[in-house]
Structure 1
Amino acid sequence: MTRWVVIFDDTPGMLVHRREFGAAHIDYLERHSDRILVGGGLRPVPDAPFVGGMWIVEAGTYDEVVDLVLNDPYFIPDHRRFRILAWGKAIDREVVL
C-alpha cells in the first residue's frame, strides 16, 4: 500500500456546500476510515473560514484515491480542486492524534 496526501483547495462558494453536506461527508469519511486515515479542513488562521482540506490516504493506486475523492459528498468541481501526491513518510512511527 502507498500513502497519499490529498490537498483540497476550495472557492468561497464551497462554504455553503460544506454546511449542506457536512454530515454526509463525515459519514463518508467514517465508512472509508480503513483508507482515509486522517482528514480535516484547512484555514489560513484559527477561526477563519475553511479554504480547503487535507487527507492522508492508504491505497494501492492513484486511481483508488481519485475514486475516493470523486465519490465524497463534499466534492463539487465548481468549488473544490484537489491534488494527489504520493507521500514518503520520513519518520515512520505510530502517531495518535
Structure 2
Amino acid sequence: MHYVVLFTDAPDADPDIRTTHMAAHLDFLERNADRVAAAGPLSDPAQAGRDGLWIVTADTPDLVTQLIHADPFWPTGLRASYAIIPWRRVFAAGSRLI
C-alpha cells in the first residue's frame, strides 16, 4: 500500500536543525529507499523549505509510523506533527494503473 506522509514543522524549532541533521536524514532515506519512494520539504511563499512530504510503501500505517520515528529528524524537535494518508496511485510514469 502507498501512503503520503505530510509533516508539519514546529514553528519554534531552531532554524539550523535542518542543516545540522540533513546528512543523517538523507543517509536514513537512502537506507530506506525500498520504502520511501520520494521525500522533500515543501516551500512557503518565499521559497524557503518548511514542513515535508514523503511517499511511502508499507503494509500498514504502523510501519510508516515506525519509519518516521526512526528518522534522525524526529528526535530533534523539527517536526511538530505528521499525518499518514493512504494513497491509491491511478497514474504513474505516463500510464494508467487502473
- The normalised TM-score by structure 2 is 0.83
The Cα of 1:47 is off from its aligned counterpart by 3.0
**Partner in structure 1 of residue 24 of structure 2:** 24
1:1-97 equivalences in 2 (<5 Å): 2-12=1-11, 13=13, 15-45=15-45, 47-48=47-48, 50-76=49-75, 78-80=77-79, 81-91=81-91, 93-94=92-93
Give structure 2 stretches of 5+ with no counterpart: none
Query: Could you tell which deviates more after superposition, 15-24 or 70-79?
Result: 70-79
For structure 1, which runs of at least 5 residues remain unmatched after alignment?
none
Runs of 4 or more above 3 Å deviation: 76-79
Superposed displacement of residue 94, structure 1: 2.6
Write out per-residue CA displacement over residues 55-83 of structure 1, whole angstroms, 9 at most, x where no aligned residue.
00001111110011000001137431111
Count of equivalent residues: 92
Is the 2:6–2:84 contact (alpha carbons within 8 Å) kept by the matching residues of 1? yes
When structure 1 is superposed on structure 2, of 77-86 and 28-37 the one drifting more is 77-86
Indicate the SS of the match to 2:34: coil
The two structures, once aligned, show a CA RMSD in angstroms of 1.8
Contact map agreement 2:18 2:78 (CA 8 A) in 1 = no
Change (3 A) 1:77 1:84: farther
Of structures 1 and 2, the larger Rg is shown by: 2
- 2-side partners of 1:38 and 1:14: how far apart? 25
| Identical pairs, percent | 35
